[in-house]
A = this chain, B = another copy of it.
């Protein structure tokens, strides 16, 4: 066993400010990496790029993380799990299908506005996950299924038009997934107002 602790050393660890700082340093690496990944993509960013952006040497990164892969996994999986978790509470609520769809719009705007860089990795670099790739694909498939089920229920209940639900999921989800590109461009954006406008356009269209 490499990392076994006595009871006393655990207590020391908890009260040790250094250890807390360690964790925040790891977060710094992940945040910095996400910024670079958005600009050039995972494969084009080197460990030396990440280190330089933090003002340290590449080798020093390995005091905090195990591999370049791990950085990507943490970025993507934590976001995918946020979507999964919040979709769960949306689908279990007793609202109408249209209200559920509006809540999905809110969900995407919220997570994206707080994670504009990470969302780029989620959208563009998921294929470079290795061990975690099957898990990610499972989460994504479940999410899309939940989305389609809400739409199919809306069609059954005559809330929504009788059209191919796949096309409807595709159209809405494509827009929501692209939010990470657009949100940062509108810096002084009223998030609440934007969410309302976007819901209106996605659900009622643009035709007068």
Contacts and interface: CB of A to CB of B under 8 A. Distances in A.
Interface of A: 39-44, 98, 124-125, 127-128, 151, 154, 158-161, 163-164, 166-168, 170-172, 174-175, 177-178, 181-182, 186, 194, 197-198, 200-208
A207 B206 contact: no
16 contacts: A39-B127, A40-B127, A41-B41, A41-B124, A41-B128, A151-B206, A159-B207, A161-B204, A163-B206, A164-B197, A166-B186, A171-B175, A171-B198, A172-B206, A202-B205, A205-B206
Contact of A207 (B44, B124, B160): B160
A40 B129 CA distance: 11
A197 B163 CA distance: 7
